[in-house]
Chains A and B, each alone.
Chain A
Protein backbone atom coordinates (compact mmCIF):
# COMPACT_ATOMS: atom_id res chain seq x y z
CA UNK A 1 0.00 0.00 0.00
CA UNK A 2 1.41 3.42 -0.92
CA UNK A 3 1.71 6.19 1.64
CA UNK A 4 -1.10 8.15 -0.07
CA UNK A 5 -3.50 5.21 0.01
CA UNK A 6 -2.69 4.61 3.66
CA UNK A 7 -3.59 8.18 4.51
CA UNK A 8 -6.99 8.22 2.79
CA UNK A 9 -9.80 7.41 5.18
CA UNK A 10 -11.37 3.99 4.69
CA UNK A 11 -14.81 3.26 6.09
CA UNK A 12 -15.35 -0.49 6.39
CA UNK A 13 -18.45 -1.65 4.53
CA UNK A 14 -20.60 0.84 2.65
CA UNK A 15 -20.98 4.15 4.46
CA UNK A 16 -24.79 3.90 4.66
CA UNK A 17 -24.51 0.83 6.87
CA UNK A 18 -23.11 3.04 9.61
CA UNK A 19 -26.47 4.83 9.82
CA UNK A 20 -27.81 1.52 11.12
CA UNK A 21 -24.80 0.66 13.28
CA UNK A 22 -24.66 4.03 15.03
CA UNK A 23 -28.45 4.14 15.31
CA UNK A 24 -28.46 0.74 16.95
CA UNK A 25 -25.70 1.72 19.34
CA UNK A 26 -27.63 4.87 20.33
CA UNK A 27 -30.63 2.67 21.14
CA UNK A 28 -28.51 0.35 23.28
CA UNK A 29 -27.03 3.37 25.07
CA UNK A 30 -30.59 4.22 26.11
CA UNK A 31 -30.96 0.64 27.41
CA UNK A 32 -27.71 0.99 29.39
CA UNK A 33 -29.05 4.25 30.81
CA UNK A 34 -32.18 2.46 32.09
CA UNK A 35 -30.04 -0.18 33.84
CA UNK A 36 -27.76 2.46 35.36
CA UNK A 37 -30.74 4.43 36.68
CA UNK A 38 -32.24 1.25 38.18
CA UNK A 39 -28.94 0.43 39.87
CA UNK A 40 -28.74 3.97 41.27
CA UNK A 41 -32.29 3.88 42.64
CA UNK A 42 -32.47 0.33 44.02
CA UNK A 43 -28.90 -0.86 44.69
CA UNK A 44 -29.98 -3.54 47.21
CA UNK A 45 -32.61 -5.09 44.92
CA UNK A 46 -30.14 -4.92 42.01
CA UNK A 47 -27.43 -6.78 43.97
CA UNK A 48 -29.86 -9.38 45.33
CA UNK A 49 -31.27 -10.10 41.84
CA UNK A 50 -27.78 -10.21 40.34
CA UNK A 51 -27.03 -13.27 42.55
CA UNK A 52 -29.45 -15.32 40.41
CA UNK A 53 -27.33 -14.81 37.26
CA UNK A 54 -24.41 -17.07 36.34
CA UNK A 55 -21.31 -14.90 35.88
CA UNK A 56 -19.25 -17.95 34.86
CA UNK A 57 -21.53 -18.52 31.86
CA UNK A 58 -21.49 -14.79 31.14
CA UNK A 59 -17.69 -14.76 31.15
CA UNK A 60 -17.56 -17.84 28.92
CA UNK A 61 -19.89 -16.08 26.48
CA UNK A 62 -17.70 -12.97 26.56
CA UNK A 63 -14.68 -15.09 25.66
CA UNK A 64 -16.62 -16.81 22.84
CA UNK A 65 -17.58 -13.46 21.30
CA UNK A 66 -14.07 -12.03 21.64
CA UNK A 67 -12.68 -15.17 19.99
CA UNK A 68 -15.26 -14.92 17.21
CA UNK A 69 -14.32 -11.28 16.60
CA UNK A 70 -10.61 -12.14 16.48
CA UNK A 71 -11.37 -14.94 13.99
CA UNK A 72 -13.43 -12.54 11.86
CA UNK A 73 -10.60 -9.96 11.84
CA UNK A 74 -8.17 -12.65 10.71
CA UNK A 75 -10.61 -14.07 8.17
CA UNK A 76 -11.32 -10.65 6.67
CA UNK A 77 -7.60 -9.92 6.35
CA UNK A 78 -7.24 -13.16 4.40
CA UNK A 79 -10.26 -12.34 2.23
CA UNK A 80 -8.71 -8.97 1.36
CA UNK A 81 -5.42 -10.55 0.28
CA UNK A 82 -7.11 -13.45 -1.51
CA UNK A 83 -5.81 -16.14 0.84
CA UNK A 84 -8.17 -18.90 2.07
CA UNK A 85 -10.02 -17.66 5.18
CA UNK A 86 -10.36 -20.88 7.15
CA UNK A 87 -11.05 -19.17 10.47
CA UNK A 88 -14.54 -17.99 9.52
CA UNK A 89 -16.52 -21.24 10.10
CA UNK A 90 -14.99 -21.32 13.61
CA UNK A 91 -16.31 -17.83 14.27
CA UNK A 92 -19.76 -19.09 13.30
CA UNK A 93 -19.34 -21.98 15.72
CA UNK A 94 -18.41 -19.58 18.55
CA UNK A 95 -21.55 -17.54 17.82
CA UNK A 96 -23.72 -20.67 17.94
CA UNK A 97 -22.04 -21.58 21.25
CA UNK A 98 -22.96 -18.15 22.63
CA UNK A 99 -26.62 -18.66 21.67
CA UNK A 100 -26.69 -22.14 23.25
CA UNK A 101 -25.13 -20.92 26.51
CA UNK A 102 -27.41 -17.89 26.66
CA UNK A 103 -30.43 -20.15 26.20
CA UNK A 104 -29.20 -22.45 28.97
CA UNK A 105 -28.69 -19.50 31.31
CA UNK A 106 -32.22 -18.25 30.63
CA UNK A 107 -33.50 -21.74 31.46
CA UNK A 108 -31.50 -21.85 34.72
CA UNK A 109 -32.68 -18.38 35.80
CA UNK A 110 -36.31 -19.13 34.96
CA UNK A 111 -36.16 -22.50 36.73
CA UNK A 112 -34.87 -20.69 39.83
CA UNK A 113 -38.16 -18.77 39.73
CA UNK A 114 -37.12 -15.46 38.13
CA UNK A 115 -39.07 -14.16 35.15
CA UNK A 116 -39.28 -10.79 33.38
CA UNK A 117 -42.22 -9.88 35.61
CA UNK A 118 -40.35 -10.69 38.88
CA UNK A 119 -38.87 -7.19 39.19
CA UNK A 120 -37.32 -4.41 37.09
CA UNK A 121 -33.87 -6.02 37.17
CA UNK A 122 -35.11 -9.21 35.57
CA UNK A 123 -37.34 -7.26 33.16
CA UNK A 124 -34.28 -5.38 31.86
CA UNK A 125 -32.08 -8.48 31.99
CA UNK A 126 -34.42 -10.60 29.88
CA UNK A 127 -35.51 -7.88 27.47
CA UNK A 128 -32.13 -6.27 26.81
CA UNK A 129 -30.09 -9.48 26.60
CA UNK A 130 -32.99 -10.90 24.53
CA UNK A 131 -32.76 -8.00 22.07
CA UNK A 132 -29.00 -8.57 21.98
CA UNK A 133 -29.62 -12.26 21.26
CA UNK A 134 -31.91 -11.23 18.38
CA UNK A 135 -29.02 -9.12 17.04
CA UNK A 136 -26.70 -12.10 17.43
CA UNK A 137 -29.14 -14.24 15.45
CA UNK A 138 -28.95 -11.71 12.60
CA UNK A 139 -25.18 -11.85 13.16
CA UNK A 140 -25.28 -15.60 12.45
CA UNK A 141 -26.60 -14.61 9.02
CA UNK A 142 -23.77 -12.08 8.63
CA UNK A 143 -21.17 -14.71 9.56
CA UNK A 144 -22.78 -17.19 7.14
CA UNK A 145 -22.41 -14.57 4.40
CA UNK A 146 -18.71 -14.30 5.32
CA UNK A 147 -18.29 -18.09 5.22
CA UNK A 148 -19.99 -18.30 1.82
CA UNK A 149 -17.84 -15.45 0.44
CA UNK A 150 -14.70 -17.16 1.75
CA UNK A 151 -15.43 -20.15 -0.49
CA UNK A 152 -15.05 -18.04 -3.61
CA UNK A 153 -11.65 -18.03 -5.27
CA UNK A 154 -11.47 -14.19 -5.24
CA UNK A 155 -13.70 -11.27 -4.31
CA UNK A 156 -14.52 -8.21 -6.42
CA UNK A 157 -14.74 -4.78 -4.75
CA UNK A 158 -18.54 -5.11 -4.31
CA UNK A 159 -18.31 -8.46 -2.53
CA UNK A 160 -15.40 -7.23 -0.40
CA UNK A 161 -17.55 -4.28 0.69
CA UNK A 162 -20.30 -6.76 1.62
CA UNK A 163 -17.80 -8.84 3.62
CA UNK A 164 -16.60 -5.72 5.46
CA UNK A 165 -20.18 -4.73 6.24
CA UNK A 166 -20.98 -8.19 7.62
CA UNK A 167 -17.81 -8.08 9.75
CA UNK A 168 -18.62 -4.57 11.04
CA UNK A 169 -22.09 -5.73 12.05
CA UNK A 170 -20.60 -8.70 13.87
CA UNK A 171 -18.15 -6.50 15.78
CA UNK A 172 -21.07 -4.33 16.91
CA UNK A 173 -22.83 -7.43 18.32
CA UNK A 174 -19.62 -8.23 20.19
CA UNK A 175 -19.18 -4.66 21.43
CA UNK A 176 -22.74 -4.45 22.76
CA UNK A 177 -22.26 -7.65 24.77
CA UNK A 178 -18.98 -6.30 26.17
CA UNK A 179 -21.07 -3.50 27.69
CA UNK A 180 -24.10 -5.62 28.67
CA UNK A 181 -21.97 -8.21 30.49
CA UNK A 182 -20.38 -5.97 33.17
CA UNK A 183 -23.58 -3.95 33.51
CA UNK A 184 -25.72 -6.94 34.52
CA UNK A 185 -23.21 -9.40 35.95
CA UNK A 186 -20.37 -7.40 37.47
CA UNK A 187 -21.54 -3.95 38.65
CA UNK A 188 -21.85 -4.19 42.41
Chain B
Protein backbone atom coordinates (compact mmCIF):
# COMPACT_ATOMS: atom_id res chain seq x y z
CA UNK B 1 0.00 0.00 0.00
CA UNK B 2 1.32 3.47 -0.86
CA UNK B 3 1.65 5.49 2.31
CA UNK B 4 1.20 8.75 0.46
CA UNK B 5 -2.09 7.65 -1.09
CA UNK B 6 -3.28 6.42 2.31
CA UNK B 7 -2.43 9.71 4.05
CA UNK B 8 -4.05 11.72 1.25
CA UNK B 9 -7.21 9.60 1.30
CA UNK B 10 -7.49 9.77 5.08
CA UNK B 11 -6.95 13.56 5.08
CA UNK B 12 -10.12 13.92 3.01
CA UNK B 13 -11.89 13.53 6.37
CA UNK B 14 -10.73 17.05 7.30
CA UNK B 15 -11.91 18.36 3.95
CA UNK B 16 -15.34 16.80 4.48
CA UNK B 17 -15.83 18.46 7.87
CA UNK B 18 -14.73 21.82 6.44
CA UNK B 19 -17.05 21.57 3.42
CA UNK B 20 -20.01 20.31 5.43
CA UNK B 21 -19.69 23.00 8.08
CA UNK B 22 -19.23 25.70 5.43
CA UNK B 23 -22.35 24.40 3.68
CA UNK B 24 -24.45 24.56 6.87
CA UNK B 25 -23.35 28.15 7.47
CA UNK B 26 -23.93 29.17 3.85
CA UNK B 27 -27.43 27.66 3.88
CA UNK B 28 -28.28 29.65 7.09
CA UNK B 29 -28.90 26.32 8.84
CA UNK B 30 -27.05 27.10 12.06
CA UNK B 31 -29.39 26.97 13.90
CA UNK B 32 -31.43 24.70 11.57
CA UNK B 33 -34.99 25.40 10.41
CA UNK B 34 -37.62 24.05 12.82
CA UNK B 35 -40.26 21.39 12.04
CA UNK B 36 -42.76 23.53 13.96
CA UNK B 37 -42.56 26.34 11.37
CA UNK B 38 -45.71 27.15 9.36
CA UNK B 39 -45.78 26.52 5.60
CA UNK B 40 -45.66 30.31 5.01
CA UNK B 41 -42.57 30.71 7.18
CA UNK B 42 -40.81 27.83 5.42
CA UNK B 43 -41.64 29.28 2.00
CA UNK B 44 -40.50 32.75 3.09
CA UNK B 45 -37.19 31.28 4.31
CA UNK B 46 -36.51 29.68 0.93
CA UNK B 47 -37.51 32.87 -0.91
CA UNK B 48 -35.25 35.05 1.22
CA UNK B 49 -32.19 32.75 1.17
CA UNK B 50 -32.71 31.03 -2.23
CA UNK B 51 -29.27 31.79 -3.67
CA UNK B 52 -27.23 31.06 -0.58
CA UNK B 53 -29.11 27.79 0.01
CA UNK B 54 -28.48 26.68 -3.58
CA UNK B 55 -24.78 27.54 -3.25
CA UNK B 56 -24.45 25.87 0.15
CA UNK B 57 -25.97 22.69 -1.26
CA UNK B 58 -23.31 22.49 -3.97
CA UNK B 59 -20.66 22.64 -1.23
CA UNK B 60 -22.43 19.86 0.66
CA UNK B 61 -22.60 17.74 -2.49
CA UNK B 62 -18.82 18.06 -2.85
CA UNK B 63 -18.48 17.19 0.83
CA UNK B 64 -20.41 13.96 0.34
CA UNK B 65 -17.94 12.79 -2.31
CA UNK B 66 -14.78 13.44 -0.29
CA UNK B 67 -16.01 11.08 2.43
CA UNK B 68 -15.38 8.26 -0.08
CA UNK B 69 -11.55 8.28 0.07
CA UNK B 70 -11.69 8.66 3.85
CA UNK B 71 -13.94 5.61 4.17
CA UNK B 72 -11.71 3.65 1.77
CA UNK B 73 -8.63 4.58 3.84
CA UNK B 74 -10.37 3.38 6.99
CA UNK B 75 -11.20 0.04 5.36
CA UNK B 76 -7.61 -0.30 4.10
CA UNK B 77 -6.38 0.24 7.64
CA UNK B 78 -8.78 -2.35 9.05
CA UNK B 79 -7.35 -4.87 6.57
CA UNK B 80 -3.88 -3.78 7.65
CA UNK B 81 -4.74 -4.40 11.33
CA UNK B 82 -5.38 -8.02 10.36
CA UNK B 83 -6.29 -9.38 6.90
CA UNK B 84 -8.75 -11.75 8.61
CA UNK B 85 -10.86 -8.69 9.50
CA UNK B 86 -11.88 -8.39 5.82
CA UNK B 87 -15.65 -8.70 6.55
CA UNK B 88 -15.39 -5.78 9.00
CA UNK B 89 -13.50 -3.74 6.42
CA UNK B 90 -16.19 -4.52 3.85
CA UNK B 91 -19.05 -3.67 6.22
CA UNK B 92 -17.38 -0.36 7.03
CA UNK B 93 -17.07 0.35 3.31
CA UNK B 94 -20.74 -0.46 2.66
CA UNK B 95 -21.93 1.70 5.56
CA UNK B 96 -19.59 4.48 4.43
CA UNK B 97 -21.04 4.27 0.92
CA UNK B 98 -24.54 4.46 2.40
CA UNK B 99 -23.41 7.60 4.21
CA UNK B 100 -22.36 9.18 0.93
CA UNK B 101 -25.91 8.51 -0.30
CA UNK B 102 -27.33 9.72 3.01
CA UNK B 103 -25.82 13.14 2.26
CA UNK B 104 -26.24 13.10 -1.53
CA UNK B 105 -29.96 12.30 -1.61
CA UNK B 106 -31.20 14.94 0.88
CA UNK B 107 -28.98 17.57 -0.74
CA UNK B 108 -30.70 16.94 -4.07
CA UNK B 109 -34.11 17.05 -2.32
CA UNK B 110 -33.16 20.39 -0.74
CA UNK B 111 -32.05 21.60 -4.17
CA UNK B 112 -35.47 20.73 -5.60
CA UNK B 113 -37.12 22.52 -2.65
CA UNK B 114 -35.09 25.67 -3.23
CA UNK B 115 -35.62 25.49 -7.00
CA UNK B 116 -39.06 27.19 -7.05
CA UNK B 117 -39.63 28.94 -3.70
CA UNK B 118 -42.58 30.87 -5.22
CA UNK B 119 -44.71 27.70 -5.57
CA UNK B 120 -47.58 26.94 -3.16
CA UNK B 121 -46.14 27.04 0.42
CA UNK B 122 -47.71 23.68 1.29
CA UNK B 123 -45.67 21.94 -1.39
CA UNK B 124 -42.49 23.68 -0.27
CA UNK B 125 -43.19 22.57 3.28
CA UNK B 126 -43.73 18.94 2.21
CA UNK B 127 -40.48 18.93 0.22
CA UNK B 128 -38.67 20.63 3.11
CA UNK B 129 -39.91 17.94 5.55
CA UNK B 130 -38.80 15.24 3.13
CA UNK B 131 -35.33 16.75 2.81
CA UNK B 132 -34.72 17.39 6.53
CA UNK B 133 -35.93 13.96 7.58
CA UNK B 134 -33.72 12.32 4.95
CA UNK B 135 -30.71 14.36 6.08
CA UNK B 136 -31.02 13.93 9.84
CA UNK B 137 -32.64 10.50 10.25
CA UNK B 138 -29.80 8.51 8.73
CA UNK B 139 -28.12 7.34 11.91
CA UNK B 140 -27.98 3.62 11.19
CA UNK B 141 -25.22 3.47 8.55
CA UNK B 142 -23.07 5.70 10.77
CA UNK B 143 -23.86 3.53 13.81
CA UNK B 144 -22.88 0.43 11.83
CA UNK B 145 -19.64 2.11 10.79
CA UNK B 146 -18.73 3.17 14.33
CA UNK B 147 -19.47 -0.24 15.84
CA UNK B 148 -17.52 -2.12 13.16
CA UNK B 149 -14.53 0.20 13.44
CA UNK B 150 -14.59 -0.20 17.23
CA UNK B 151 -14.60 -3.99 16.98
CA UNK B 152 -11.73 -3.91 14.44
CA UNK B 153 -9.63 -1.70 16.73
CA UNK B 154 -10.15 -4.08 19.66
CA UNK B 155 -9.11 -7.01 17.42
CA UNK B 156 -5.63 -5.48 16.96
CA UNK B 157 -3.21 -7.75 18.84
CA UNK B 158 -0.07 -5.60 18.34
CA UNK B 159 1.64 -4.42 21.56
CA UNK B 160 1.04 -0.87 20.28
CA UNK B 161 -2.15 -1.14 18.17
CA UNK B 162 -2.32 0.82 14.89
CA UNK B 163 -5.32 2.69 16.30
CA UNK B 164 -5.33 3.20 20.10
CA UNK B 165 -7.76 1.05 22.08
CA UNK B 166 -9.50 4.03 23.69
CA UNK B 167 -10.60 5.07 20.21
CA UNK B 168 -12.58 1.80 19.98
CA UNK B 169 -14.62 2.81 22.99
CA UNK B 170 -14.92 6.32 21.57
CA UNK B 171 -16.47 4.72 18.47
CA UNK B 172 -18.98 2.82 20.62
CA UNK B 173 -19.91 6.03 22.41
CA UNK B 174 -20.30 7.84 19.08
CA UNK B 175 -22.65 5.06 17.92
CA UNK B 176 -24.76 5.83 20.98
CA UNK B 177 -24.71 9.59 20.28
CA UNK B 178 -25.83 9.10 16.64
CA UNK B 179 -28.81 7.00 17.72
CA UNK B 180 -31.34 9.60 19.08
CA UNK B 181 -31.80 11.16 15.63
CA UNK B 182 -34.02 8.21 14.62
CA UNK B 183 -36.56 9.48 17.18
CA UNK B 184 -37.23 12.63 15.11
CA UNK B 185 -40.01 10.75 13.36
CA UNK B 186 -42.14 11.08 16.52
CA UNK B 187 -41.59 14.75 17.45
CA UNK B 188 -41.98 18.23 15.99
CA UNK B 189 -40.60 20.12 19.00
CA UNK B 190 -38.20 19.36 21.83
CA UNK B 191 -34.77 17.68 21.98
CA UNK B 192 -35.69 14.88 19.52
CA UNK B 193 -37.18 17.05 16.75
CA UNK B 194 -34.91 17.33 13.70
CA UNK B 195 -33.57 20.68 14.99
CA UNK B 196 -33.40 19.38 18.60
CA UNK B 197 -30.42 19.29 20.93
CA UNK B 198 -30.12 15.49 20.78
CA UNK B 199 -31.21 14.81 17.20
CA UNK B 200 -29.32 17.62 15.54
CA UNK B 201 -26.73 19.31 17.73
CA UNK B 202 -25.38 16.27 19.58
CA UNK B 203 -25.67 13.86 16.63
CA UNK B 204 -24.18 16.29 14.08
CA UNK B 205 -21.51 17.39 16.55
CA UNK B 206 -20.60 13.75 17.24
CA UNK B 207 -20.52 12.99 13.50
CA UNK B 208 -18.11 15.89 12.90
CA UNK B 209 -15.99 15.00 15.94
CA UNK B 210 -15.86 11.36 14.82
CA UNK B 211 -14.49 12.42 11.41
CA UNK B 212 -11.88 14.74 12.96
CA UNK B 213 -10.63 12.21 15.54
CA UNK B 214 -10.60 9.26 13.13
CA UNK B 215 -8.85 11.31 10.42
CA UNK B 216 -6.15 12.36 12.89
CA UNK B 217 -5.65 8.78 14.13
CA UNK B 218 -5.69 7.37 10.58
CA UNK B 219 -3.02 9.77 9.37
CA UNK B 220 -0.91 9.02 12.45
CA UNK B 221 -1.27 5.26 11.90
CA UNK B 222 -0.46 5.63 8.19
CA UNK B 223 2.78 7.40 9.05
CA UNK B 224 3.78 4.44 11.22
CA UNK B 225 3.30 1.94 8.41
CA UNK B 226 5.80 0.80 5.79
CA UNK B 227 5.37 2.01 2.27
CA UNK B 228 5.51 -1.47 0.77
CA UNK B 229 6.05 -0.94 -2.91
CA UNK B 230 4.68 -3.45 -5.35
CA UNK B 231 7.21 -6.00 -6.59
CA UNK B 232 6.77 -4.70 -10.13
CA UNK B 233 8.12 -1.29 -9.05
CA UNK B 234 11.10 -2.74 -7.21
CA UNK B 235 12.05 -5.17 -9.98
CA UNK B 236 11.38 -3.71 -13.40
CA UNK B 237 10.78 -6.35 -16.02
CA UNK B 238 13.90 -7.26 -17.94
Contact = CB atoms under 8 A, between A and B. Distances in A.
A93 interface: no
Interface string B161-183: 00011111110110011011001
Given A19-B173, A20-B170, A23-B170, A14 B186 contact: no
B37 interface: no
A20 B191 contact: no
Contacts of A116: 186
A27 B172 CA distance: 13
A24 B168 contact: no
Interface residues of A, number: 18
A24 B183 CA distance: 18
A23 B202 CA distance: 12
A179 interface: no
Contacts of B187: 117, 123
B169 A120 contact: no
Given A24-B173, A24-B176, A120 B166 contact: no
A138 to B, nearest CB: 10
Interface string B196-224: 01100010000000000000000000000
A20 B172 contact: yes
Contacts of A57: none
B177 A19 contact: no
A16 B165 contact: yes
B31 interface: no
Interface residues of B, number: 22
Contacts of A117: 186-187
A16 B168 CA distance: 8
Contacts, number: 44
A100 interface: no
Contacts of B172: 20
B192 interface: yes
Interface string A164-187: 000000000000000000000000
A17 B177 CA distance: 16
Contacts of B166: 15-16, 19
Given A27-B177, A117-B186, A19 B192 contact: no
Contact of B169 (A19, A30, A127, A131): A19
A24 B173 CA distance: 7
Given A23-B173, A34-B191, A127 B183 contact: yes
Contacts of A131: 179-180
A47 B190 CA distance: 20
Interface string A108-146: 000000001100100100010001000000000000000
B229 to A, nearest CB: 34
Interface string B147-171: 0000000000000000011111110
Contacts of A19: 166, 169-170, 173
B172 to A, nearest CB: 5
Contacts of A123: 187, 190, 192
Contact of A14 (B165, B183, B191): B165
Contacts of A23: 169-170, 173, 176-177
Contacts of B180: 127, 131
A175 to B, nearest CB: 16
A20 B183 contact: no
Interface in A1-33: 14-20, 23-24, 27, 30
A18 B191 CA distance: 26
Interface of B: 164-170, 172-173, 176-177, 179-180, 183, 186-187, 190-192, 197-198, 202
Interface of A: 14-20, 23-24, 27, 30, 34, 116-117, 120, 123, 127, 131
24 contacts: A15-B166, A16-B164, A16-B165, A16-B166, A16-B167, A16-B169, A17-B169, A19-B173, A20-B169, A20-B170, A20-B172, A20-B173, A23-B170, A23-B176, A24-B173, A27-B176, A27-B202, A116-B186, A117-B187, A123-B187, A123-B192, A127-B180, A131-B179, A131-B180
